[in-house]
Amino acid sequence: MGSIPATRSRFEAVDHKPLGGPFKIEAAYRGDTSEDKVNLGIGAYRDDAGQPWLLPSVAEAKKRMDLPSCTHEYSPLHGLDAFIEPARRLVFGAELDPEIAPFVASMQTVSGTGANSIIAKFLARWIQPQQIWLPAQTWDNHPHIWRQNAPAIQVRDYPYYDQKTCSLDFAGLMATLERDAKEGDAILLHACAHNPTGIDPTENQWKDIALLCEKKRMFVVFDSAYQGFASGNLDKDAWSIRHFATHPDLEFAVCQSFSKNLGLYGERVGALHIVTSRNATPSVALAIRSQLVEIHRGEVSIAPAFGARVATTVLTSEEIFSQWLEDLVLMSGRIKAMRQALYDELVALGTPGSWKHVVEQTGMFSYTGLSTDQVTVMQEKFHIYMLPTGRISICGLRDANVKYVARAIDNVVREGKA
C-alpha cells in the first residue's frame, strides 16, 4: 500500500478566542512584576491581607460532614431536596414560602450561570418571548448566555446607568420599557448589588418596575448572586424578589447562586426557582420541573453534590446558620469600610468631582466613573488593574493599598482635567 498523503487538520479554520473581561485583567495582573500592583478586577471576596477567605461557617459545616466517610453517589436528576428546599426558603422567606411553595418549580443548578442558562433554554422552548431585556450595563456573561442558549430570542438593552450622575437612570429605564417592550417579553433584573454598577433601585422604584412588568405580562428573570453579601442582611437583599412574589399574577424565575455569600466559588452551587401564577394548578409546577430536568440532563446531567451538601449543612443547622449570619456581616462590613476609606481619601485629596457614588453604591463592585483612557493610565502608570468601564472590585482594596489607589485616581482625574 502506498503512503496516505498528509492533510491539513479540519480545525485549521478555528479562530483563537482571547480572554475577555475580568479574566483578561487577571492574566495581565499576574504577569505584572511591580510590587505596587493592585488587582481591582477580581470578582471574589478577599480579606484585608488580599487572600481568599474560608468562611468559619463553611469550615464548621465541613467538619460536621465527616468527609472521610462521605460517599460520591449520584444525586436525583433535579438535585438534592435537602438543599433545594432551604435554598428556596432563603429566597422567599419563612412567611411567604409556605404560601407560594406549591406554585414554585425548583431544581439544583451549576451555580447561577447554570440557572441562567437553563431558564434561557426553557423560555425559548416553552414560552418563546420575542425579546429578553437586559440592563445596558450587566454581567458580561448575561448576553452570551442568552445568545448561546436562546438564539431565537432577541437580546435588547434597557437604560440603567447614568454616566453623568453615576446613578440609576430610572426614568430612562421605565420610559424604554413602557415604549418598546412587547407584551410577554422577558426581562432580567439583578435582585441586589447590581453587577457591575453597584446601583440598585429603591423600594419605591422596585414597586413601579413590578407594576410595569405586571401590566405588560413580562416574564421576569431575577439574578440573585449576592443575597446577604450586599447588605449583610438576607431579608433586605431579597426584598425585590419577595415584593414581586406578592403580585399573584406575576410569573418569574430566580437564578440563585451561593458562590459569593458562602464563598463556594469553585463548587458551583446554585438553584433555579420558577414561580407560576397563583391561578395555576399544582401540576403545573411539577410539569415545569420535569422539563427543566430534561434540559439540564442534556447539558450536564446532574449538578455537583459536594458544595450543595456544604450549603445544606449551613442552611439547616441553627448554630452554623447563626455563624453564617456573622460571616455575612463581616464580609459586607469590610466592603463598606473600604468604600468609605476610598471616599474619605479622595475627599481629603480634593479630587475633582463628586465621589458620593462610591459609598452610595452597594455590594462587591463600584462604577468609579473613570473613562477608558483613565483606566489605561491606571494600569500602565500605577499598575492598578480594573475593567475598561471603570468598574472596580471593592474586595481588592485593603488598608495597605487604599491610599495608593486614591492617589492614582486623583492623578488621572487631574490629568484628564488639564
Active site residues: 139, 223, 260
What are the beta bridge partners of residue 168? 161
Is beta strand 186-190 parallel, antiparallel or unpaired with respect to 219-224? parallel
Closest CA to 410 of 163, 165, 402, 43: 402
Reported residue count of the chain is 418
Closest CA to 404 of 381, 388, 376, 387: 381
What are the beta bridge partners of residue 20? none
CA distances from 68 to 64, 83, 269 (A): 11, 21, 21
Q: Which three cell numbers stand for residue 310?
A: 456544604
Closest CA to 367 of 192, 225, 222, 163: 163
Closest CA to 194 of 155, 161, 162, 234: 161
Residue type, 322: S
Q: How far apart are CA 50 and CA 396, in angstroms?
A: 7
Q: Which residue spans within 240-375 are E strands per DSSP?
A: 252-257, 269-275, 365-367
Q: How far apart are CA 250 and CA 23, in angstroms?
A: 37
228-253 burial by CB neighbour count: b if 16+ within 10 A, else e?
Answer: bbbbbebeebbbbbbebbebeebbbb
What are the beta bridge partners of residue 275? 104, 252
Q: How far apart are CA 375 and CA 379, in angstroms?
A: 6
Q: How far apart are CA 67 and CA 307, in angstroms?
A: 12
What are the beta bridge partners of residue 51? none
- Provide the 10 A C-beta neighbour count for residue 208: 14
